[in-house]
Amino acid sequence: MFSELKPLPTDPILGLMAAYKQDTNPNKIDLGVGVYKDEQGDTPVLRAVKQAEAFRLENEKTKSYIGLAGNLDFCQKMESLLLGEHSALLANRVRTAQTPGGTGALRVAAEFIKRCNTNATVWVTTPTWANHISLFEAAGLNVKEYPYYDYENKGLLFDEMINTLKQVPKGDVVLLHACCHNPSGMDLNEQQWKVVAELAKEVGFTPLIDIAYQGFGSSLDEDAKGLRMLADSVEEMLICSSCSKNFGLYRERVGACSLIAKDAAVADVSNSVLLSVVRSIYSMPPAHGADIVSTILSSDELTQMWHEELDEMRTRINGLRTLIKDSLAAKGVAQDFSFIDRQNGMFSFLGINKEQIERLQKDYAIYIVGSSRVNVAGISQANIDYFADAVATVLK
Ligand code: PLP
Ligand code: TYF
């Protein structure tokens, strides 16, 4: 049976990560996979996480099964983190299941959508995180795209986006990145979120919010502003969240899938379907990562420490955006890279061509994704000059 299989290509981003590891050039720079790095190029465990883990090691009472929705305290704390003060207002309409990462949340959401409407189409931004498309298609859903990033002007195609979303049939789902759009770094502003929130209500599509970088854009609350506006506007929506980036828990696989229904009764029925989906995929989520998050968010001291560490990551990323813009200008590069400083989160497109991307990798051991997406966090004071020189050279 296995001999009939044809080999499939690996994920290009994860493939790049492997190629970087094998490169022996001492100047190599990894701007590929979306993982935060500090000035030394490391992705350390957060101090708040270490302390929560120490606490957990001492105090964990059992390894018995946890239940389909995972850690209920974690679920409730995630609702507060996502919805802020709206979480109390919406409480009887929201249900949350802890999932294995944001990807697990998206897969659970996809299967849940399939149960609601077998013919549903999920509308995603052009471009979007490549996994979105393969994941929804794997769940048997149709995927269509709506205009989003303006490659030419390095902004948003907002009018085109709205014109397309106006045509979305009721019963379809529109995926929106809450903040720090992956891969473009281009986010909606408050006014634009307002338009989308009103449109969702008017047109009747179901919003699915992917929030994988809360706290990496402006702040925990600011980054959830659009999501909260939508929650105020529509009767129902889905939220897929991830603690991979903001808690640095990548490999622990911590995330959540939340649904908001029109009332408590529909929320209960929907939740029973959501949990049935969970049971059919992995039965129950792993405990460790979510317990760390709930331990941190249950302690004022650890929460404060986490906020400081998150602020530090965000401040570093934003500083690097300015540094990249200034360094490229200082090298006399003709193109305008000021957009990098206006975008959010870890990613931006450099907007250079395939050949230039290949030269960066081959001649300089600078690894960026084939779309020209760079992970800004891979830059440091130590490598910025080398990076800016290399980009200036390939652009000549
Ligand atoms: N959504 C987006 C847009 C992402 O960039 C990521 C990955 O980093 C995820 C979801 C899922 O992250 P994870 O499954 O690692 O929590
Ligand atoms: O886009 C990124 O780089 C992150 C990390 O299969 C990632 O979202 C990339 C690919 C993948 C899983 C995670």
What is the CATH classification number for the domain harbouring 387?
3.90.1150.10
Query: For residue 226, how far is its CA from the centre of ligand 2 (angstroms)?
Result: 23
Flag whether the ipTM exceeds 0.95: yes
Query: For residue 11, how far is its CA from the centre of ligand 2 (angstroms)?
Result: 9
Are 216 and 331 in a shared domain? no
Domain extent at residue 247: 65-298
The residues lining ligand 2, judged by C-beta closer than 6 Å to any ligand atom, are: 11, 13-14, 33-34, 129, 131, 182
Neighbours of 172 (CB within 10 A): 22
Q: What does the pLDDT read at residue 87? A: 78
The answer to whether residue 51 is domain-embedded is no
**Mean pLDDT, range 44-70, rounded to an integer:** 96
The answer to whether residue 58 is domain-embedded is no
Active-site entry in 30, 37, 77, 129: 129
Are 100 and 116 in a shared domain? yes
Which ligand is closest in space to the CA of residue 134? 2
Are 281 and 257 in a shared domain? yes
Which ligand is closest in space to the CA of residue 18? 2
Are 271 and 151 in a shared domain? yes
Contacts of 98 (CB under 8 A, 6+ apart): 69, 70, 71, 74, 75, 78, 254, 255, 256, 285, 290
Domain end marker among 269, 298, 327: 298
CA atoms within 13 A of residue 349's CA, in its CB half-sphere = 22
The answer to whether residue 55 is domain-embedded is no
Active-site entry in 210, 223, 291, 306: 210
Domain end marker among 245, 271, 298: 298
The whole-angstrom separation of Cα 352 and Cα 365 is: 16
Are β-strands 149-150 and 155-156 bridged in parallel, bridged antiparallel, or unpaired?
antiparallel
Are 266 and 362 in a shared domain? no
- For 70-108, how does the pLDDT look when each residue is reduced to its tens digit (9 = 90+)? 999 999 999 999 999 887 778 899 999 999 999 999 999
| Residue 14: pLDDT band with limits 50, 70, 90 | confident
Domain end marker among 258, 277, 298: 298
Q: What does the pLDDT read at residue 88? A: 74
Contacts of 302 (CB under 8 A, 6+ apart): 48, 51, 52, 295, 296
Are 29 and 96 in a shared domain? no
Closest to 129 (Cα-Cα) out of 188, 200, 210: 210
The whole-angstrom separation of Cα 252 and Cα 121 is: 31
Are 72 and 99 in a shared domain? yes
Query: For residue 144, how far is its CA from the centre of ligand 1 (angstroms)?
Result: 20
Q: What does the pLDDT read at residue 91? A: 82
**Which token pair is 329?**
């200008």
Q: Probe ligand 2: pick from 14, 106, 346, max atoms within 8 Å of CB?
A: 14
Q: How far apart are the first and last CA of the chain?
A: 53
The answer to whether residue 152 is domain-embedded is yes
Are 6 and 35 in a shared domain? yes
CA atoms within 13 A of residue 199's CA, in its CB half-sphere = 20
Are 128 and 186 in a shared domain? yes
Q: Which residue has the tokens 């047109």?
A: 203
Q: What does the pLDDT read at residue 11? A: 85
The answer to whether residue 214 is domain-embedded is yes
The answer to whether residue 60 is domain-embedded is no
Q: How many domains does the chain have?
A: 2
**Tell me, what CATH number does 185's domain have?**
3.40.640.10
The answer to whether residue 50 is domain-embedded is no
pLDDT at 43 over 80: yes
- For 108-123, how does the pLDDT look when each residue is reduced to its tens digit (9 = 90+)? 999 999 999 999 999 9
Are β-strands 237-242 and 255-260 bridged in parallel, bridged antiparallel, or unpaired?
antiparallel
362 is catalytic: no
pLDDT at 12 over 90: no
Are 284 and 386 in a shared domain? no
* pTM for the full predicted model: 0.97
123 is catalytic: no
Q: What does the pLDDT read at residue 196? A: 98
Atom of ligand 1 nearest to the CA of 106: 10
Closest to 376 (Cα-Cα) out of 351, 346, 350, 340: 346
The answer to whether residue 52 is domain-embedded is no
Are 149 and 214 in a shared domain? yes
* Helical spans, DSSP H, in the chain: 12-22, 47-59, 72-83, 86-90, 101-116, 130-138, 158-165, 190-203, 225-233, 264-281, 288-298, 300-330, 339-342, 354-364, 384-395
Closest to 196 (Cα-Cα) out of 165, 218, 151, 242: 165
**Mean pLDDT, range 178-193, rounded to an integer:** 98
Neighbours of 154 (CB within 10 A): 20
Please answer whether residues 101 and 244 qualify as being in contact, where contact means their C-beta atoms are separated by less than 8 angstroms: yes
Are 97 and 145 in a shared domain? yes
Please answer whether residues 231 and 221 qualify as being in contact, where contact means their C-beta atoms are separated by less than 8 angstroms: no
Query: For residue 127, how far is its CA from the centre of ligand 1 (angstroms)?
Result: 15
Which phi-psi region, left, alpha or beta, contains residue 125 (left: φ > 0; alpha: ψ -120 to 50)?
A: beta
The whole-angstrom separation of Cα 388 and Cα 285 is: 43
Neighbours of 208 (CB within 10 A): 25
- For 323-339, how does the pLDDT look when each residue is reduced to its tens digit (9 = 90+)? 999 999 999 999 999 99
Phi and psi at 238, nearest 5°, equal -120, 145
